[in-house]
C-alpha cells in the first residue's frame, strides 16, 4: 500500500483569519475527509523567517529557514494561497520564496495556487509568483491553479469554508495536484 501524497500548504498572509488561510484550512479539512487520497500540512512559520540575506544562505541555515526547507523537502507537492498587496506578493511571502531560491528542495516539485481574490484582482501576485517559481525550478501544475473567490464572511468559527461548491473546487485542486505527483512517476519523499 502506498502512502498518499503529502501537500504542503503555504499561505502568503500573516493576518489571522485571512481568506487565504481559510482556503488552506478548508483544503486540510477536505483532505481529512479522504485521507487515503491525499494528506496535507499547513506551514505556519511565515512570521518567524528572518529577512533574506544571501550571506546567511549557507550552512548552518537559520533554524526557521532550515525548518521551511525541510517542510518543502518532505512534501510531494505544494499548494499556495496568497493575497496581493500593491500589485504583487506581500513582502513576507516574497521573503519566504527568496529563501527557497538557494536550495534545491522545491526544484521540479509540483506547485499550484488558489487565487482567492475577488474577480479581476490578484493577477499581480499570480504573475510574481509564477516568475519566482520559475527561478526556483518548481514545476507549476497549470491545471491545478484555480481562481476561487472567497470573502471574509465565508469562513466559519473553525476557520474553514462550509460552502459546498468552494469545498468541491478545493478538492479538485488537491486531486489534480496529488495526481500530478503520481503521474510524473515520482514516489516523492513520502511515497512507497
Locate 171 and state its grid cell. Answer: 478538492
Walk along the chain (192 residues) and give the pLDDT tens digit of each residue.
588 999 999 999 999 889 999 999 999 999 999 878 999 999 999 999 999 999 999 999 999 999 999 999 999 999 999 999 999 999 999 999 999 998 999 999 999 999 998 888 898 999 999 999 999 999 999 999 999 999 878 888 888 999 999 999 999 999 999 986 555 444 444 443
CA distance readout (Å), 132 to 6, 36, 107, 129, 135? 22, 32, 12, 5, 5
Rounded CA-CA distance 15/22 in Å is 11
- C-alpha dihedral over 48, 171, 29, 179, to 10 degrees? -70
Rounded CA-CA distance 72/80 in Å is 12
Write the CB contacts of 95 (distance below 8 Å, at least 6 apart in sequence).
49, 51, 52
Amino acid at each position: 500500500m502506498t502512502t498518499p501524497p503529502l501537500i504542503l500548504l503555504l499561505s502568503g498572509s500573516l493576518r489571522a483569519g485571512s481568506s487565504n488561510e481559510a482556503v488552506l484550512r478548508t483544503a486540510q479539512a477536505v483532505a481529512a475527509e479522504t485521507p487515503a487520497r491525499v494528506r496535507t500540512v499547513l506551514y505556519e512559520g511565515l512570521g518567524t523567517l528572518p529577512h533574506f540575506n544571501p550571506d546567511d544562505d549557507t550552512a548552518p541555515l537559520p533554524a526557521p529557514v532550515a525548518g521551511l526547507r525541510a517542510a518543502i523537502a518532505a512534501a510531494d507537492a505544494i499548494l499556495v494561497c496568497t493575497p496581493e498587496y500593491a500589485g504583487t506578493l506581500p513582502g513576507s511571502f516574497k521573503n519566504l520564496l527568496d529563501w527557497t531560491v538557494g536550495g534545491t528542495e522545491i526544484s521540479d516539485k509540483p506547485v499550484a495556487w488558489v487565487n482567492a481574490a475577488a474577480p479581476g484582482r490578484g493577477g499581480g501576485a499570480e504573475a510574481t509568483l509564477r516568475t519566482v517559481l520559475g527561478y526556483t525550478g518548481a514545476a507549476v501544475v497549470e491545471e491545478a491553479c484555480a481562481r476561487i473567490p472567497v470573502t471574509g464572511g465565508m469562513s466559519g468559527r473553525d476557520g474553514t469554508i462550509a460552502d459546498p461548491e468552494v469545498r468541491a473546487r478545493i478538492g479538485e485542486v488537491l486531486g489534480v495536484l496529488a495526481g500530478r505527483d503520481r503521474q510524473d512517476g515520482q514516489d516523492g519523499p513520502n511515497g512507497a
